[in-house]
Amino acid sequence: MRITGGTVLSMRPGDSPAVRDVFVENDRIAQFGQSAGGEVIDASGCYVMPGLIQTHIHLVQTIFRGLAEELSLLEWLRDRIWPLEAAHDEASLRATARLGLLDLLTTGTTTILDMGTTHGGDVIAEELVSSGIRARFGQTMMDGGDGVPKGLRETTGASLHASARLVMKWNEAADGRIGYAYAPRFALSCTRELLEAVGDITKRLGLLVHTHSNENVTERSLIEAATGQAPIAYLDGVGLVNERSVIAHGVHLDDAEVATLRERGAAITHCPSSNLKLGSGIADVRALRERGIMVGIGADGAACNNRLDGFDELRLAALLAASLHGPGALSASDVLAMGTRDGARAMRLDAEIGTLEVGKKADVIVLDAERLAGPGGDPATRIVYGGGSRAVRDVIVDGQVIVRSFVPVTLDAAEVQARAAEALPSLTKRAGL
């Protein structure tokens, strides 16, 4: 495959945008410049860049969009999200996963770190494989907590057994495109026994840990009351703050917690739309980055966003940083890096993705510059502030075209939307909503 005539944003530090051809052989970038043979994708008048990497997604919540409005975090979970997750069956899980994947792929996200619910992990994995996206996913672990419905609550042993089985079946599936990440939901819904076991297992297996922490003032206070420690100190004590940890939110962190995150090499996922919609606050991303903490970006779930558009999150991240620290606190180039190479580093995939380089995986998006607000401004500014997602014309993952000329190849958009609409009434009835 040859992607010709486009302005390439490689996202390598120090690289400037330049018109270059990209030659893809099998699933990797083979060279830049002139080459012969293969399918030609004409990218004249387009920007060519790495696909976005979102390091915190909940595919299982996509179908809940619009059903949990105007609530703070714990009300939102206990009154709406947990009852709906408990009510999922196979049909609704497939429908919600496909709907989320359609949103993600057509808006330029090529890699996700997904957190499921406490059942149906095989269904989510099957849909990840068939969609063509690159993903690390985990079935949520919940063996405690107030307000957890019966349909979500697990025993410690059952939770650990379920994840162990999913690791055996799905880790490194689809030639490594799909992998497993342990996903204890958060400290309030997991026993110390479970968290310590996850710390031991993931260290031994070298797998990611994906969890939530320091999202909401009330959540923080409850963890402190229950454990006698700040949330990050508690997670550190059970072995869950390390170089394989991806911690969603990090809105309310004290100086000692920030120091621990840096010392351990843990990553934070910034979810600006979700934090604003749930009234959780604004994470100080510039301060975290200045302290040497890796920060990725995530839309979280459609139930608290209500979109899965990574470019929206990048724009909002830059604007929120400006509101805290003044214009330019996070530049357009900074947030594009968060959405590409920094996300790859957070997921420990930077040897394979996150930048366009010879030898790396061919996870590439082509943006039609005419669809961006302009014409002035450097490419990063046009993409971040000019509506990046509406310009996503072609999406390539592992050297395979997943979206071609704005049309998804692996998913039928009309069918996906119809199945979601069909599944929703019975789901809400089972949830008692």
Q: Rounded to whole angstroms, what are the CA distances from 380 to 48, 289, 293, 366, 384?
A: 11, 19, 23, 14, 6
Where are the domains positioned within the chain? 2-50+361-408, 52-346
Radius of gyration of the chain (CA): 21
Give this prediction's pTM: 0.97
Q: Does domain 2-50+361-408 have CATH number 2.30.40.10?
A: yes
Placement of tokens 């214009």 in the chain: 327
Fill in the DSSP letter of residue 51: P
Three-point CA angle 399, 401, 406, nearest 5°: 145
List the chain pLDDT tens, one digit each, 433 residues. Answer: 999 999 999 999 999 999 999 999 999 999 998 777 789 999 999 999 999 999 999 999 999 999 999 999 999 999 999 999 999 999 999 999 999 999 999 999 999 999 999 999 999 999 999 999 999 999 999 999 999 999 999 999 999 999 999 999 999 999 999 999 999 999 999 999 999 999 999 999 999 999 999 999 999 999 999 999 999 999 999 999 999 999 999 999 999 999 999 999 999 999 999 999 999 999 999 999 999 999 999 999 999 999 999 999 999 999 999 999 999 999 999 999 999 999 999 999 999 999 999 999 999 999 999 999 988 889 999 999 999 999 999 999 999 999 999 999 999 999 999 999 999 999 999 999 8
Region of residue 239 (left: phi > 0; alpha: psi -120 to 50; beta: else) = left
- DSSP 3-state of 401: strand
The rounded distance, in Å, linking the Cα atoms of 433 and 422 is: 16
Give the CA angle between residues 298, 300, 302 to the nearest 5°: 130
Q: Which CATH number fits domain 52-346: 3.20.20.140, 1.10.3720.10, 3.30.365.10, 3.90.1150.10?
A: 3.20.20.140
What does the longest C-alpha to C-alpha distance in the chain come to? Answer: 65
Closest Cα partner for 113 from 300, 287, 275?
300
Q: Which residues contact 183 (CB under 8 A, 6 or more apart)?
A: 115, 116, 138, 139, 140, 141, 163, 209, 210, 211
